[in-house]
Amino acid sequence: MQLFEKNIRSLQGKKGQQWLADLPRMVGQIEKAYGLSGLKPVKNLSYNYVLSGFRDERPVVLKLGIDNEALKREAAALRAFMGFGAVTVLAESDGMLLLQRAVPGESLKSYFPQRDNEAVSITCQGLKRLHQTPIPKSKAFPHIQDWLMILNQDWSIPENYLQTARALRDRLLQTSTKDVLLHGDLHHDNILRNGNDWLVIDPKGVIGEAAYEVAAFIRNPIPDLLAVDTAENIIHHRIGLFATNLGVEQQRILDWCFVQSVLSWCWAIEDGLDTDATYQRFIRYIDPAI
């Protein structure tokens, strides 16, 4: 809860402070309006206030966020993914989503590191299903090339990393063949067990090639991944497994891992997060110059 409040204050200033103060009132109003009960905040809150509970006897998740546009994109992505392995949107209003709750809800993070091969297999099955989603005709979702324009700016990141990321980005975009609707942040904590199945949560919603999708999984769960002595072996073994399961060249996955790591580093700097050491260490494991 402390990290969540710190993030909101850091990013939103006085607006964020007021929003945090209003949370109890907002939760109470929504609870009454939608007939919710048993609401409890989930662990590891970051940028949204997320509670689990019930609507009648149905397990639900209530998600409140100060970034209304981000929640709208998430809802649009979940609706697009309906029937293809994502949780269901039950209700939506400004700054609020009411969602199906996966039960029992354990994430693939619980498989790390002992069952890592199995986690990769589950993820491959899930994204194959997810990527069957027809791309909506609306312009609700950006393309990954829009996201990657941020690499052209000046950042306090080693210049050789930025130059390599820009060159790889340009080559990957030029040689991409088929676009699909991507989750955009498909890591361990966003893949949850639901009965005998697995469902994804928290999609960003972005259009691009399927190989882009696996990079978030490959570098997670950070910092747990980087804490084990075999981190480099795990990373490259994952790349091989994804390449085999998805019929994609290992080098292409490796290149996307590098580009996406630098992109995430830029976003972290933009959000005021002190994660330089984490990204530097991870990138050393996948640097094409090494």
Domain ranges of the chain: 2-100, 106-286
pLDDT per residue as tens digits for the range 205-215: 999 999 999 99
Tokens of 122: 């589950």
Instruction: Report whether pLDDT(290) > 60.
Output: no
In CATH terms, the fold of domain 106-286 is Aminoglycoside 3'-phosphotransferase; Chain: A, domain 2 (3.90.1200)
Convert 175-195 to b/e letters by CB count within 10 Å (16 or more is b): ebeeebbbbbbbbbbbbbbbe
3-state helix, strand, coil in the chain (%, to 5): 55, 15, 30
CATH of 2-100, one of 3.30.450.190, 3.30.200.20, 3.40.50.300, 3.30.1390.20: 3.30.200.20
158 by DSSP, 3-state: which? coil
Cα–Cα distance measured from residue 274 to residue 7, given in angstroms and rounded to the nearest whole number: 12
With bands split at pLDDT 50, 70 and 90, how would you rate the model's confidence at 119? very high
Q: Which residue matches tokens 């940028």?
A: 47
Q: Look over the chain and give the mean of its residue pLDDT values, rounded to a whole number.
A: 95
pLDDT per residue as tens digits for the range 160-199: 999 999 999 999 999 998 999 999 999 999 999 999 999 9
Cα–Cα distance measured from residue 48 to residue 204, given in angstroms and rounded to the nearest whole number: 14
Whether the Cβ atoms of residue 1 and residue 42 lie closer than 8 Å to each other: no
Average pLDDT over every residue of 45-62: 96
Instruction: Report whether pLDDT(204) > 80.
Output: yes
Average pLDDT over every residue of 260-283: 93
Instruction: Report whether pLDDT(44) > 90.
Output: no
Angle 198-183-38 (CA atoms, 0-180°, nearest 5)? 55
What is residue 3's predicted lDDT score, i.e. its pLDDT?
A: 79
Instruction: Report whether pLDDT(53) > 60.
Output: yes
What is the Cβ-side half-sphere exposure of residue 142, based on CA atoms within 13 angstroms?
13
Tokens of 155: 């950042």
Query: DSSP states of 116-161 as a string?
Result: HHHHHHHHHHHHHHHTTSPPPSSS-S-BHHHHGGGGGS--SS-HHH
Q: Tell me the Ramachandran region of residue 210: left when phi exceeds 0, alpha when psi lies from -120 to 50, beta otherwise.
A: alpha
252 by DSSP, 3-state: which? helix
Tokens of 265: 């580093």
The helix (H) or strand (E) run that includes residue 89 is strand 89-93
User: pTM for the complete prediction?
Assistant: 0.95
Whether the Cβ atoms of residue 205 and residue 141 lie closer than 8 Å to each other: yes
Strand order in the sheet with 191-194: 104-107, 191-194, 197-200
